[in-house]
Structure 1
Amino acid sequence: MRADETATFTRPRELPGVETLTARYITHRFLPHTHEALVLGVIEGGAESFRFRGGRVVAPAGSVVVVPPGEVHTGEAAGPQGWAYRVLYLGEGWLTEAGVAGAVGFGAASLHDPDLAARVRRAHAALTSPGASPLARETLLREALGHLAARHADTRPRPLPSILAPDAVREARAYLDAHPETAVTLSGLAARVGLSPAHLARSFRAALGVPPHTYQMAARVRLARKLLDAGEAPADAALRAGFADQAHLTRVFKRVVGVPPGTYRRGR
């Protein structure tokens, strides 16, 4: 990470399923990845650009970024000045309690809503301030999430990409999610779901925006996070998650989570 880039990752211990990221990036680029949590962030400076649902989204300063769980997306600077943002990652239970079903999307991935931006900013500040009380943290967080749900939740079913083998793609994705550490070949994965390798590669990219090997790498990072959460050392987590070594894990982990494994562990 460059000297002028900073990133801090935290987890409020009294609020399970909540994580925060405070970062300023210039040249950092996120690999295509997904989160098991809702991504809710406010851009504090510059502008972020990211691929999302087959298109390119630019989120300028003051906007709110919303990425539902399971959605493949990237992240990079939209200009030479980079971008700074505060991000909340909220597990499925928080969405359910706010009345937002797991399959529900939102009006857009970049929202212009100054009131929501202010609420997200206040909640994030409380969650990352040692002096904030647990009561204040949860109250401000629920206010921000409630405003998001009331103003921007979209209950209409999201149209799926037009692909030839949606069931096979879902099966292949489920296998990679369940066995990210496995050294599966494209031919082996295709045989498992009943397609030719070329057909699976085309259909998988059409549906998710990334090829199977890129998706698998992000799934390995998710497994590594769970192992680190359980107290495993980065070197052991790297091997169990399917990485060549700890250095390989560190390179990929930072481009998916935004911080290296050591910083992530300290944020616990």
Structure 2
Amino acid sequence: MTAPPTDLETMALAGRERAVFTRPPGLRGVELLSATFVSHRYLPHAHDTVALALIERGAERYRYRGAQVRAGVGEVATVLPGEMHTGEAVTPDGWSYRVLYLHPDWLVGADGRPLAGFRNDVLADAALSRALRRAHRALLSADATTLARETVLHGVIDHLSVHADHRIGRELPRVPEAVWSVKARLDATPEAAVSLSDLAAGVGLSASHLSRSFTQSVGAPPHAYQMAARVRLARALLDSGESVAGAALRAGFADQSHLTRVFRRVVGLTPGVYQRSL
């Protein structure tokens, strides 16, 4: 029998699935996830951070930047801020990984230039993988000082610099003005009940035209984007100390159970476990 979970340990989700979310003390804009997933499938969502996921077992695939991407053992899957993506197992055995989420302010190379993107979405670099694993463990260690944590973290960034792509062409395609307006509206008030017809009328498009354009430009249909935005709002409310039930109500979910189901599909763990980990 395993020991009772501590603040930094996992809650069993279902069968062999488990996940641990952590924010290392003293490091703003740094978050960690250690997880094993089998049947879990992420809903389309985006992060405000750069996600660096080291695959420790199995393989993961995810829809990203208009393509299906696959990452296997020892490889580092990357996701840039604001990029809609999914995530699921490649085989019935699932996958295990360590994820490091970094605010873009951390991603500055030795030459002083920001690491706005990478030449490949999945990085096969043994030195980077070792550095990421070492950093992940140090950031979770209660014995590590802030200086030690920052040192290993910058070691990861130094290895990432090798894969930096500073070409302007790596930026997202220009989002049509109407889609940008709808996206901004959903970001500003994700909790609001709104129909596709209402959104389309607000930008002078037909509902079908807006749905196609939004999905093509953003990487997810409007309703899926709204749900991910509601999870972001709920997460901010939980960070501020709001109860799970209160966060569900204020973020526009039908009830606490609804929030719990969707939150897990986006974050990888339930809102209760997420809040306790803080």
Q: TM class, shorter-chain normalised?
A: over 0.9
2:74 to 43, 56, 62: 62
Structure-1 residue corresponding to 2:272: 262
Distance in structure 2 (CA, Å) of the matches to 1:205 and 1:101: 29
TM-superposed CA distance for 1:46, in Å, is: 0.4
Distance in structure 1 (CA, Å) of the matches to 2:107 and 2:224: 28
Q: What letter corresponds to residue 36 of structure 2 in structure 1?
A: R
Distance in structure 2 (CA, Å) of the matches to 1:145 and 1:191: 45
Q: Is the 8 A contact 1:29 1:76 kept in 2?
A: yes
The alignment status of 1:121 with 2:133, answered yes or no, reads yes
Aligned partner of residue 162 in structure 2, secondary structure:
helix
Q: Where in structure 2 are the equivalents of 1:100-111 lying within 5 Å?
A: 101=114, 104-111=116-123
Q: Would the alpha carbon gap of residues 46 and 106 (structure 1) be closer, same or farther in structure 2, given more than 3 Å must change?
A: same
Q: Is the 8 A contact 2:20 2:33 kept in 1?
A: yes
Structure-2 residue corresponding to 1:155: 166
Q: Is the 8 A contact 2:109 2:158 kept in 1?
A: no
2:185 to 158, 161, 175: 175
Structure-1 residue corresponding to 2:93: 81
Structure 2 unaligned segments of length 5 or more: list them.
1-12
Distance in structure 1 (CA, Å) of the matches to 2:269 and 2:113: 29
Structure-2 residue corresponding to 1:186: 196
Scaled by the length of structure 2, the TM-score of the pair is 0.91
Distance in structure 1 (CA, Å) of the matches to 2:158 and 2:206: 46
TM-superposed CA distance for 1:100, in Å, is: 5.4
Distance in structure 2 (CA, Å) of the matches to 1:159 and 1:12: 30
2:237 to 221, 227, 232: 227
Q: Is the 8 A contact 2:50 2:79 kept in 1?
A: yes
Structure-2 residue corresponding to 1:130: 142
Q: Is the 8 A contact 2:108 2:157 kept in 1?
A: no
The alignment status of 1:213 with 2:215, answered yes or no, reads no
Q: Is the 8 A contact 1:161 1:206 kept in 2?
A: no
Structure-1 residue corresponding to 2:5: none
> Share of identical aligned residues, percent?
57
Distance in structure 2 (CA, Å) of the matches to 1:206 and 1:115: 36
Q: Would the alpha carbon gap of residues 130 and 59 (structure 1) be closer, same or farther in structure 2, given more than 3 Å must change?
A: same
Aligned partner of residue 122 in structure 1, secondary structure:
helix
Q: Would the alpha carbon gap of residues 28 and 183 (structure 1) be closer, same or farther in structure 2, given more than 3 Å must change?
A: same
CA RMSD of aligned residues (A): 1.6
The alignment status of 1:44 with 2:56, answered yes or no, reads yes
Q: What letter corresponds to residue 82 of structure 2 in structure 1?
A: G
Q: Is the 8 A contact 2:109 2:157 kept in 1?
A: no
Aligned partner of residue 58 in structure 1, secondary structure:
strand
**Which piece of structure 1 moves more, 93-102 or 250-259?**
93-102
Distance in structure 2 (CA, Å) of the matches to 1:39 and 1:267: 19
Q: Tell me the matched-pair count.
A: 264
1:142 to 143, 146, 154: 154
Q: What letter corresponds to residue 71 of structure 2 in structure 1?
A: A
Q: What letter corresponds to residue 253 of structure 1 in structure 2?
A: F
Q: Is the 8 A contact 2:23 2:32 kept in 1?
A: yes
Distance in structure 1 (CA, Å) of the matches to 2:270 and 2:130: 29
Task: List, as ranges, runs of 4+ consecutive aligned residues in structure 1 with deviation greater than 2 Å.
Answer: 95-102, 157-162
The alignment status of 1:14 with 2:14, answered yes or no, reads no
Structure 1 unaligned segments of length 5 or more: list them.
none
TM-superposed CA distance for 1:97, in Å, is: 7.6
Q: Is the 8 A contact 1:100 1:153 kept in 2?
A: no
